[in-house]
Amino acid sequence: MRTYDQPTATRTTAPAVRPRPDGDDRPITTTFPGPTAGDGTRPTARLDVAADLLALLGDTTTEPRPDDQLAALTLAVAADLPVLLWGEPGIGKTAALGQLAAALDLPLTTVIASVHEPSDFAGLPVVGDDPANQGVPMAPPDWAVRLVRAGRGLLFLDELSTAPPAVQAALLRLVLERRVGALRLPPGVRIVAAANPRASAADGWELSPPLANRFVHLRWTHDPDVVVRGLGGTWPRAALPRLSPDRLTGAVAYARRAVCGLLTARPTLVHRLPDNEARRGGPWPSPRSWEMTLRLIAFATAAGTSREVLSMLVRGTVGDGPGLELLASLDRMDLPDPEDLLADPATAELPERGDLRQAVLDGVVAAVRARPERSRWDAAWALLARAAETGAPDLVVVPASTLAALRRDDWDVPPAIEKLAGAVRLSRRADEATTRVALAAGATR
């Protein structure tokens, strides 16, 4: 516990000097009592008490708590990709970066991009003794030198959306190549930036497309429960994802197959620069951002990351449209092979999610259409019957109708059809009732 000096009336300030009245040039020194409050305490003692109170207010702790946006941030940091946090002022972006640096035991270096000149990132030219032969090196700023000396750290580029275009252009090499002047930042340095939307930024600018395409964009929002518990002294704990060593090879193969499979089927998604200026300042697909996406999928797979976190990262790298297509493609990659299901329909395990189950059943019918055989046709009916028993019966209506149309004249009706007849009739009655309601509603208008 801190101890405080007792107030005293004899404490003096610096001596005051005045001339003697008799003409003697020796100074007369007079001391004055130091300032005291009404209760006799010194202001410095009061500031000491205030410092103790501030220390108590800043004494917080952390706890393991599920937080999707924090998990997305730490995974992107682990993947060594630059991250840009978008959020309204006061939402807690800067505080989150401070907590992240403390949790990861990384020294935090904050650079306010909007108050710097382009030369602060590109380097200042330093003319030597013989510039014609030795050239003119570009001297880096002091913060970059400190990061290189430390060998590790978290570089936080704040207020990115208030940086003018010339400064944004100077940041391109820093964000992509990790170069500042003549220095290259060491591999142990991670880059995270923060920006406010242009509508709420002070004299804001739209992010330039080349700079925007170098970041993983994350929308930073507040969770009232997290804020309330944090103000009570306990914040969520940031931790790097745990990568399983035995999953690394498979994770890379899975990520390559997912991205390459989608781009093979949808070549127009390889590069698509948005027409809208505001959207150009966000995530959009390019070979660079697809490479970042591939890395994120590999890391997420090796870490067993949830679909929600992976969705935030993928959509924050290539945009909502291409990101959702990729996520749907990932779902289809995990679906069982139709041929395996037709080989043993009695023990087939179907997805629980309705859209995935529908995709599996459609795939089975497509496989029978591609190679129509009596045994395969019967197996497909058995599979549809199993699907009706273990899930929503309406999901089998369309596949059943399509499968029925594939019947040959010499194929007997399998017993499994009887199990589906009730579901098909019920679905048709529901469709007819819906149509009648819609017609009646239109007639009363």
Structural domain includes residue 61: no
Whether 230 is covered by a domain: the verdict is no
Domain boundary among 190, 225, 260: 225
Domain annotation covers residue 273? yes
Q: What is the Cα–Cα distance from 384 to 404, expressed in whole angstroms? A: 12
Residue 257 lies in a domain: yes
How many whole angstroms separate alpha carbon 342 and alpha carbon 382?
9
Average confidence score pLDDT of the chain: 82
Top-ranked range on mean pLDDT: pick from 291-295, 424-428, 436-440: 291-295
75 with 219, same domain: the answer is yes
SS3 string of the chain? CCCCCCCCCCCECCCEEECCCCCCCCCEEECCECCCCCCCCCHHHHHHHHHHHHHHHCCCEEECCCCHHHHHHHHHHHCCCCEEEECCCCCCHHHHHHHHHHHCCCCEEEEEHHHCCCHHHHCEECCCCCHHHHCCCEECCHHHHHHHHHCEEEEEEECHHHCCHHHHHHHHHHHHHCEECCEECCCEEEEEEEECCHHHCCCCCCCCHHHHCCCEEEECCCCHHHHHHHHCCEEECCCCCCCCHHHHHHHHHHHHHHHHHHHHHCHHHCCCCCCCHHHHCCCCCCHHHHHHHHHHHHHHHHHCCCHHHHHHHHHHHHCHHHHHHHHHHHHHHCCCCHHHHHHCHHHCCCCCCHHHHHHHHHHHHHHHHHCCCHHHHHHHHHHHHHHHHHCCHHHHHHHHHHHHCCCCCCCCCCCHHHHHHHHHHHHHHHHHHHHHHHHHHHHCC
The arithmetic mean of pLDDT across residues 190-200, rounded, is: 83
Least confident of 28-32, 156-160, 165-169, 371-375: 28-32
Same domain, residue pair 266 and 188: no
- Average pLDDT (39-64) is 82
Q: Please check the confidence at residue 20 and state whether its pLDDT lies above 80.
A: no
List the CATH number of the domain containing 108.
3.40.50.300
Question: Are residues 72 and 216 part of one domain?
Answer: yes
Tell me what pLDDT residue 426 has.
46
- Examine residue 417 and state whether it is found in any structural domain, yes or no: yes
Quote the number of domains for the chain: 3
Do residues 318 and 389 share a domain? no
327 in the same domain as 401 = no
The pLDDT score that the predictor gives to residue 312 is 96
Q: In sequence order, what are the residues at sequence separation of 6 or more whose Cβ sits closer than 8 angstroms to the Cβ of residue 265? A: 329
> Over 90: is that where the pLDDT of 93 sits?
no
The predicted pLDDT at position 332 comes to: 81
Does 87 lie in the same domain as 170? yes
- pLDDT confidence band for 44 (50 / 70 / 90): confident
- Give dist(CA 121, CA 104) in Å, integer: 26
End-to-end Cα, the chain, rounded Å: 79
Co-location of 270 and 345 in the same domain: no
Say whether pLDDT at 167 is over 60: yes
| Domain encompassing residue 167 | 67-126+136-225
Query: Distance (Å, rounded) from C-alpha 304 to C-alpha 434?
Result: 43
The reply to whether 376 falls in a domain is yes
Domain boundary among 296, 312, 333: 333
Both tokens assigned to 91: 């939402």
| Judgement on whether residues 84 and 217 belong to the same structural domain of the protein | yes
pLDDT band at 26 (very low <50, low <70, confident <90, very high): low
Question: Is residue 320 pLDDT above 70, yes or no?
Answer: yes
Percentage of the residues of the chain whose pLDDT score is greater than 70: 80
304 and 210 in a single domain? The answer is no
How confident is the model at residue 34, as a pLDDT? 53
Is position 5 within any domain? no
Task: Kindly tell me if the per-residue pLDDT of 157 is higher than 60.
Answer: yes
Q: What is the pLDDT of residues 274-299, one digit of tens each?
A: 988 888 999 999 999 999 999 999 99
Please, which pLDDT band fits residue 223 given cuts at 50, 70 and 90? confident
In a domain, 255, yes or no: yes
Q: Which of 225, 259, 288 marks a domain boundary?
A: 225
Which has the minimum average pLDDT: 119-128, 244-253, 262-271, 343-352?
Answer: 119-128
Same domain, yes or no, for 221 and 265?
no
Residues 324 and 350 in one domain: no
What is the distance, to the nearest Å, from the Cα of residue 117 to the centroid of all Cα atoms in its chain?
A: 28
Q: Which of 187-191, 192-196, 204-208, 420-424 has the lowest mean pLDDT?
A: 420-424
Q: Do both 329 and 268 map to the same domain? A: yes
